[in-house]
Amino acid sequence: MKFKIKKYKYVILAAAFAFTSCDDYLDINDNPNNPIDAPLSSLLVNSTYESTQNTFRMGNITSNYVQYLASPNAASASDVMEPVSYSGSWGALYNVMTDINDMILKAQEEEAAHYEGIGQILMAYNLGLTVDAWGNVPYSEAFNFVTVTPSYDDDAQLYSNILGLLDEGLANLSADSSISVGEDDFIYQGEISNWIKFGNMLKARYLNHFSETGSYDPAAVLSAVENGFDGNEDDAQMEYFEQAFNPWAQVAIDNANLFLGGWISEQFIQAMDGTIYGYDDPRLPLMVGATDDGEYIGTENGAGRGDAPEEGARSVLEEGDYYTQRQGPVLIATYAEQKFIEAEAAFGIDKARSYQAYLDGIRAHMNKIGVGQSEIEAYMNNPEVSMGVDAFTIDDIFKEKWVAMFLNPESWVDARRHDYDYEDFDLPANLNPDLNGNFLRRLAYPDTEVTRNGSNVPDVTLLDPIFWDE
Amino acid sequence: MKNKLIFLLILAVIQVSATFAQERTVSGTVTSSDDGMPLPGVTVQVKDTDRGTVTDFDGNYSIEVSSGEVLVFSSMGFERKEITAANQTTIDVSLAPDLQSLEEVVVTSFGIEQEKKSLGYAVQEISSEEITSTKQQNLVSALQGQAAGVQITNSGGAPGMSARIIIRGVNSLDPTADNQPLFVIDGVPIDNSTIESGGTPRGLSNRAADLNPNDIESLNILKGAAATALYGVRAANGAVIITTKKGQAGSVRVNINSSVGFDEVNQFPDFQETYGQGFSGVYDASSFWPNWGPSMEEINEIDPDVRFYDIWDDAMRTGTQIDNTISVSGGSENATFYGSIGKLDQEGIIPFSDWGRTSAKLSGEVKMSDKFKFSGNINYSITGGNRVPHDRFMERLVYWAPNHDVTDYINEDGTMKTYGNTNPIYDARFSTFEDEVNRTVGNLRFTYSPTKWLDLTYLVGTDYYSDKRTEITPGPLGIDGELPLDSQGFITETRITSRDINSNFFVTFKNDWTEKLNTTLRVGNDIFERDYERVDATGREFVIPEFYDLSNVNQVFNDQDKRKRRLVGVYGDLMVNYDETLFLNVTARNDWTSTLPIGNNSFFYPSVNLGYVFTETFDPGDWFTFGKLRASWAEVGKDTDPYQIGQTYSSPGVFPLNGNVGFSRFDRFGDLELKPERTTAIEFGADLSFFENRLGLDVTWYKSNSKDQIIPVPVSPTAGFTTFVTNAGEIENRGWEFILRGSPVRNEDFSWDVSFNAAYNRNEVVSIREGIEAIPIGSQFGYAGSTVSITLLEGEPYGNIFGTSYARYGADNNSIYLDEDLPIIIGPNGFPERNPAQLVLGNTTPKWIGGLKNSFSFKGIDFSFLMDFRAGVDQYNQYDNFFSAFGISEYTLNRNETIVFDGVLADGSPNTQPVWLGQGVGPDDRNYGAGFYRNTYRTISENFVQDASFIKLRNITLGYSLQENALAVLPFESVRLSVAANNIILYTPWDGFDPESFSAGAGGNATGLTGLGYPGVKSYFFTLNLGL
């Protein structure tokens, strides 16, 4: 009996020992595949790449609204301005803003002022894209998982955040940084002076968005322009890669493979081929493709292609043009755009400066996409283009800016500020009847927000303007 | 901890001090009193000891006994007989058939045999015969129609393609959860996962397909939580308990099984064969459009040489399979063995698809003494083949114009021969994906019985496999004018290794308290570890064409995934048997898991079940042979996958770009307070048999609720993550299961047995976390906005398919259901209007499933057939969507007709406007554009969500076994010849290939999305069995 008790004691001891070591045995749940932390440079790589991608994503949405593109299918939801749910693009914007948020916090910790500054500029840019499309959006409760249902901030307030971010960013870029930026920056490859110009250019862009509001300050816009881009070489853009093609080139490739997309709007063709303005624009063949017969024929927004076949009979984005080279750039902000901003801001203060900026803007874009010098001169010398300071109107700025901003989402901000008041710019066929014969003023909140954060989503219609569009 | 257990065990073994009494050998023959025929497989046991043997094929046995000991002879279906051994050396015994007995023995947890009579929950056993007679090479497919409440779905007809098994409905709201049961071989769990290909579907295998069905002795399905409580978290969806063949004492027996089979497509969709290549009725021999051209008559006026090929038949071939297994078994009283080698080679109906399995198995059992037994089992297999891109093959066949011979696919220089579109056969040949799995499943079992009332058992097993995959798509060959399959070409090398270790130690105490009351108590410890690693390397752009090596590429992308999971469990199981009348079983288990946060990772769950054999208490009459009522209540806990908790960063797949790697915050965040899921199940049942077991009925009602589900809850991306893994939601399954079996005829020459099973399941998503309205499970492409999705909503059943529909007059705008009875609204253009809102168009979970089996035997002839059915199930027919878009379906023959659509205008008045269905300018001079089928029909998901119910003749077999007189002159113990056919009858409202197909593979939950799946097949087999 004694022996037995002794034996049991060992068993109990062994069992007790086994259980104390159990916790160690089970403590193997640290993820070996994903790191807990990511270095600044890897966050910058992703942030610059994804910010450029977002320029494409938003441009892909807005290009039908500003009638650069048209759907080959009749009454397609984007053409006829139905409330489409852009959950993917919304998610991409917040995804990169989350990464930028982490990059800024980490840069502050490591006193890497340049990373922090670039982060603030990219945050301002992505937040701007988001506010300009949707108005009130989450920001103050966003990114850091303080709640699963972040509240929505007021759009006008968000604009102060954007401008504040740009100012902070510019200050940080001018400060000393513990770590230097290099090839991890896909936009400027670490050239901080360019980031400073880009920050100022964005400041000019967002200040200029106030044009229709009482708080518009053209002088502030012009002072930001002073510190902005000095030429096309300063443009904020990212060239694509052998491993990842320019997304517009991909649209063109897909279309050639009959995954239809990138069909050119009749509005754009007719604005460029003389139908509307009475003169040819030499940029057209450098921007879009011709039909099998060598003609430029657009597709009417909302009407679809009718009985035209899937290929060869309409102008489409074709691989290899300026905007559709496999490794060509997506343009985020350009010197040409800045010139048109300057023209608009100066129009009421110094019309001669405004006129000159307008001409410079056209020339800058033509140079950018590779128009020959003689063709540039021929176009610039056309009295319809160089109408002289007196005949020059604000409409001329918007018309030329619209051409120069091809496929860029900023065009839709211009279109709304300009009340879609371009020459012969018609509502699409089969317009969403809920719009009562008006163009849309914002995007509908995406389904992911409605289903996942429904109680916070503002109740708006597509006709409710963003605050700067009152 | 594991090491300590082994150490303890070794100590225990060393302490064995066996003593041997004075013994002698007794032998004899056991026969049936009915006909005097020898009885093989009769258990001969020395009463009150663990010594025992079984009779061999000729009814012979021999056993060591001391005089005075009692020999107990028992066999299923016969009355027990006890004989006291005096001094004789020969004891011949004749056993009387016992038509009263229903003491069927089933294997439940850890390889423990239990009388079925004693169980308080439903189990269903499937014999080796029932498995092999289906001729299914995938063990899971072999279960089709054979067990109530067990839903088996083949993912397609390719050799080696996975099959999915779901018991009593889906238990998880997590779209990525594996809802399939745990597979256990000889007491040790094994892996049955399916790792699908990343890109286009390739139809890979579920790992149970690595097992040779010929090696299986029996298979038992544990359905409810009560049955699986002892296996813990991994068996929360039930368990499939496999017992493999063992040797038996007696002369060495050799069994040879040879089978050859042929496969063909079992059902084709209805195709039109009138209209040829072109668009808008205009013929163009290089057009992308395969079937929107003019009629063949008109085409032949332009070019009389153009033919209309039956490309669907031409592109497929007759599949073949050759299966050979040889097994050797035998042994002495103290040691038995079983060994087998099997080789299977299959070629699929899509050219260049093949799969094979080479397997070897060795098992043995050694009785070292009366007190110590040791058995081991090792199974090695090599499986794999070339997995053609079947989805893409079929898609390219959709685009292929039937005016061109699809089998004429290659030029002499090796480039693709085509009029413009990619040739599917060329793609199938050169876009290869080969896998090879090397797998070892082994286990050891030690049993030490120091006294009559105590057993110590240690079971340890491993399941190790390496899965080597190579996918190659060639780039350009560098020949002028070629149309390459890919502009760059790529090679992907994938290496997966997975190792499971299971260790299980338990102690069994048996006690007969009184003559009527006895108990068995079992306590044990269970440890599981899985170590999984996967490495992928992809190279793009071959420098030298046709040289496929990672060193020969311009760009390389790598990926790596490592996972480790551990589980520790402690359990107790008490069985009380009162007078063979009342059976009470109580279990309790505590698990500790590595995948939940420490502090929340320990969880306890109990179960209790009761069986009452009421025919023991009172006698309802002679006709009522046996009756048992059962009830059970059980809880099972469930953990999650590794590495779900907390926040991490990951590198998006697009990187590296120019040598730079970006990181992004991982979009999933796991609750730091995550706790285990809990399933609570109750079950009531009755097991009745009448007329001396000639008629039997088994009815079960069950209800199970899984709460605190660990699900990746989709959250607003603005929060910083898109997925929050947390405890949220509840899902309920309840249903009925019926098994009816009978033996209408049973006499010496002729017998007829029939069994029927049916199960009804109702599923409901009881709740999802507040603020979360929907959980998306999957979606599948449809042209022009007709993409469908499967989404879970609160209060709705699992598997609702959402999509677009025809607009209905008077529809309730608040209803999520399509009301098909309402009239369709016809637009001002005379065509039906489309409702873009996503409505429920059907449900992918069958309401009823079941099977019917009949077997007849007359002297040496046996004949059997097995049918199975499913009803109340809808699927998305992606083929049909493509066939309508490309003018391939037979119903598009009306393309040149002018009709008035049945429906009402927006104001409710009947539509009277005639419209033309064709393309371009119609007879009424109106321009109809791309025509009805492209403008309207293909855009309406409703047209493609179709009833996928079916009744299938799974198998029909006719066999003949040579009788004694013939065997006498042959050198064989037994010879059986059989012919069999599978799936030769398919009765279904579904228009298309076999509806039993889905693109997600067995591990995916979106079963109702057929994709362009590998077509189902019917097969014919010729089989020869030889016994030596």
- B880 and B856, same structural domain? no
Edge-to-edge strand list for the sheet holding B93-95: B60-65, B24-32, B93-95
- B851 and B813, same structural domain? no
Amino acid at A251: V
pLDDT attached to residue B370: 86
pLDDT attached to residue B50: 76
pLDDT attached to residue B11: 41
Contacts of A49 in chain B (CB under 8 A): 654, 657, 662
- Categorize the per-residue pLDDT at B964 as very low, low, confident or very high, splitting at 50, 70 and 90: confident
Cis peptide leading into B269, omega within 30 of 0?
no
pLDDT attached to residue B93: 85
- B52 and B195, same structural domain? no
Give the CA distances from residue B744 to residues A7, B145, B752, B855, in Å, rounded to whole numbers and listed in that order: 60, 21, 6, 11
Task: Enter the DSSP assignment of B761.
Answer: E
Contacts of B284 in chain A (CB under 8 A): none
Distance CA B672, CA B24 (A): 67
Q: Are A268 and A68 in contact (CB under 8 A)?
A: yes
Q: Are B1010 and B269 in contact (CB under 8 A)?
A: no
Domains in chain A: boundaries: 40-237+327-464
SS3 assignment for B277-300: CEECCEECCCCCCCCCCCEHHHHH
- Categorize the per-residue pLDDT at A21 as very low, low, confident or very high, splitting at 50, 70 and 90: low
- Whether residues B665 and A99 touch (CB distance < 8 A) is answered with yes
Q: Provide the strand spans (E) within B846-973.
A: 848-858, 861-871, 874-876, 898-900, 914-916, 945-947, 950-961
Beta bridge partners of B973: none
Contacts of A243 in chain B (CB under 8 A): 540, 555, 557, 654, 656-658
Contacts of B601 in chain A (CB under 8 A): 26
Q: Are B679 and B171 in contact (CB under 8 A)?
A: yes
Contacts of B921 in chain A (CB under 8 A): 307
Q: Is the pLDDT of residue B8 over 80?
A: no
Q: Does B929 contact chain A (CB < 8 Å)?
A: yes
Distance CA B974, CA B889 (A): 52
Count of CA atoms in the C-beta half-sphere (13 A) of B657? 28
- Chain B, nearest residue to A138 by Cα: B718
- B503 and B441, same structural domain? yes
- Categorize the per-residue pLDDT at A5 as very low, low, confident or very high, splitting at 50, 70 and 90: very low
- Whether residues B715 and A452 touch (CB distance < 8 A) is answered with yes
- Categorize the per-residue pLDDT at B86 as very low, low, confident or very high, splitting at 50, 70 and 90: confident
Task: Please give the mean pLDDT across all residues of chain A.
Answer: 93
pLDDT attached to residue A10: 57
Q: Is the pLDDT of residue B114 over 60?
A: yes
- B383 and B251, same structural domain? yes
Q: Is the pLDDT of residue B26 over 60?
A: yes
Give the CA distances from residue A81 to residues A204, A270, A468, B659, B813, in Å, rounded to whole numbers and listed in that order: 29, 21, 20, 41, 22
- Which class is A40-237+327-464 in CATH? mainly alpha
- B913 and B984, same structural domain? no
Cβ neighbours for A286, distance < 8 A, ≥ 6 positions apart = A321, A322, A369, A370, A371
Q: Does A33 contact chain B (CB < 8 Å)?
A: yes
Distance CA B1024, CA B1028 (A): 13
Q: Which domain holds residue B805?
A: 800-843+876-944
Q: Are B53 and B249 in contact (CB under 8 A)?
A: yes
- Whether residues B652 and A46 touch (CB distance < 8 A) is answered with yes
Residue numbers of B between 245 and 264 with CB closer than 8 Å to A: none
- B581 and B515, same structural domain? yes
Q: Does B774 contact chain A (CB < 8 Å)?
A: yes
Asked if the structure places residue B708 within a domain, the reply is no
Q: Which residue from A342, A335, A44 is spatially nearest to A188, judged by alpha carbons? A: A44
Asked if the structure places residue B356 within a domain, the reply is yes
A36: nearest CB among B648, B667, B927: B648
Q: Does A448 contact chain B (CB < 8 Å)?
A: yes
- Whether residues B280 and A307 touch (CB distance < 8 A) is answered with yes
- B925 and B893, same structural domain? yes
Mean pLDDT for A161-188 is: 97
- B752 and B864, same structural domain? yes
Q: Is the pLDDT of residue B427 over 90?
A: yes
Q: Is the pLDDT of residue B742 over 90?
A: yes
DSSP of B690-737: ETTTTEEEEEEEEEEEEES-EEEEE--GGGT-SEEEEE--EEEEEEEE
Q: Is the pLDDT of residue A53 over 60?
A: yes
Distance CA B481, CA B966 (A): 68
pLDDT attached to residue B771: 67
Q: Is the pLDDT of residue B853 over 50?
A: yes
Asked if the structure places residue B1000 within a domain, the reply is yes
Contacts of B664 in chain A (CB under 8 A): 38, 43, 46, 50, 95-96, 99
pLDDT attached to residue A18: 55
Task: Please give the mean pLDDT across all residues of chain B.
Answer: 90
- Categorize the per-residue pLDDT at B103 as very low, low, confident or very high, splitting at 50, 70 and 90: low
How do B668-670 and B723-727 pair as beta strands?
A: parallel
Q: Does B660 contact chain A (CB < 8 Å)?
A: yes
Q: What total number of domains does chain B contain?
A: 3
Asked if the structure places residue B325 within a domain, the reply is yes
Distance CA B487, CA B410 (A): 18
Q: Is the pLDDT of residue B193 over 90?
A: yes
- Categorize the per-residue pLDDT at B15 as very low, low, confident or very high, splitting at 50, 70 and 90: very low
Chain A nearest-CA distance from B561, in A, is 6
pLDDT attached to residue A7: 52
Task: Enter the DSSP assignment of A328.
Answer: P
B660: nearest CB among A23, A148, A183: A183
Convert B649-669 to b/e letters by CB count within 10 Å (16 or more is b). bbbeebbbbeebbbbbbbbbb
Distance CA B370, CA B64 (A): 11
pLDDT attached to residue B396: 95
B4: nearest CB among A18, A34, A37: A18
Amino acid at B65: V
Q: Does A257 contact chain B (CB < 8 Å)?
A: no
Torsion angles phi and psi, residue B896, rounded to 5: -105, 20
**Percent of chain B whose pLDDT exceeds 70:** 96
Mean pLDDT for B710-739 is: 92
Tokens of B921: 């300018």
Chain B nearest-CA distance from A399, in A, is 34
- B894 and B865, same structural domain? no
- Categorize the per-residue pLDDT at B40 as very low, low, confident or very high, splitting at 50, 70 and 90: confident
Give the CA distances from residue B270 to residues B140, B312, B879, B892, in Å, rounded to whole numbers and listed in that order: 31, 11, 11, 10
- Whether residues B649 and A38 touch (CB distance < 8 A) is answered with yes
- B859 and B838, same structural domain? no
- Whether residues A138 and B648 touch (CB distance < 8 A) is answered with no
Give pLDDT tens digits for B352-380: 999 999 999 999 999 999 899 999 999 99
A26: nearest CB among B592, B649, B716: B592
Q: Which residue from A344, A26, A390 is spatially nearest to A212, judged by alpha carbons? A: A344
pLDDT attached to residue B174: 87
Give the domain-ending residue among B884, B913, B944.
B944
Asked if the structure places residue B117 within a domain, the reply is no
Q: Is the pLDDT of residue B324 over 80?
A: yes
Mean pLDDT for A118-126 is: 98
- Whether residues A304 and B929 touch (CB distance < 8 A) is answered with yes
Give pLDDT tens digits for B467-502: 999 999 999 999 988 889 988 899 999 999 999 999
Give the domain-ending residue among B101, B134, B149.
B101
Q: Is the pLDDT of residue B824 over 70?
A: yes
Q: Is the pLDDT of residue B63 over 90?
A: no
- Whether residues B665 and A453 touch (CB distance < 8 A) is answered with no
Mean pLDDT for B418-425 is: 93
Mean pLDDT for B555-579 is: 93
Q: Is the pLDDT of residue B997 over 50?
A: yes
Give pLDDT tens digits for B283-319: 999 888 899 999 999 999 999 999 999 999 999 999 9
Q: Is the pLDDT of residue A1 over 60?
A: no
Give the domain-ending residue among B914, B944, B974.
B944
Distance CA B76, CA B42 (A): 8
Higher pLDDT, B732 or B935: B732
- Categorize the per-residue pLDDT at B46 as very low, low, confident or very high, splitting at 50, 70 and 90: confident
- Categorize the per-residue pLDDT at B812 as very low, low, confident or very high, splitting at 50, 70 and 90: very high
How do B710-714 and B723-727 pair as beta strands?
A: antiparallel
pLDDT attached to residue B71: 86
Q: Are B973 and B133 in contact (CB under 8 A)?
A: no
Cβ neighbours for B222, distance < 8 A, ≥ 6 positions apart = B108, B121, B123, B181, B228, B235, B238, B239, B240, B241
Contacts of B594 in chain A (CB under 8 A): 25-29
- Categorize the per-residue pLDDT at B111 as very low, low, confident or very high, splitting at 50, 70 and 90: low
Rounded to two decimals, what is the model's pTM?
Answer: 0.85
Higher pLDDT, A377 or B93: A377
Within a 10 A sphere around the Cβ of B466, how many other Cβ atoms? Answer: 15
- Categorize the per-residue pLDDT at B99 as very low, low, confident or very high, splitting at 50, 70 and 90: low
How do B93-95 and B24-32 pair as beta strands?
A: parallel
Chain B nearest-CA distance from A167, in A, is 24
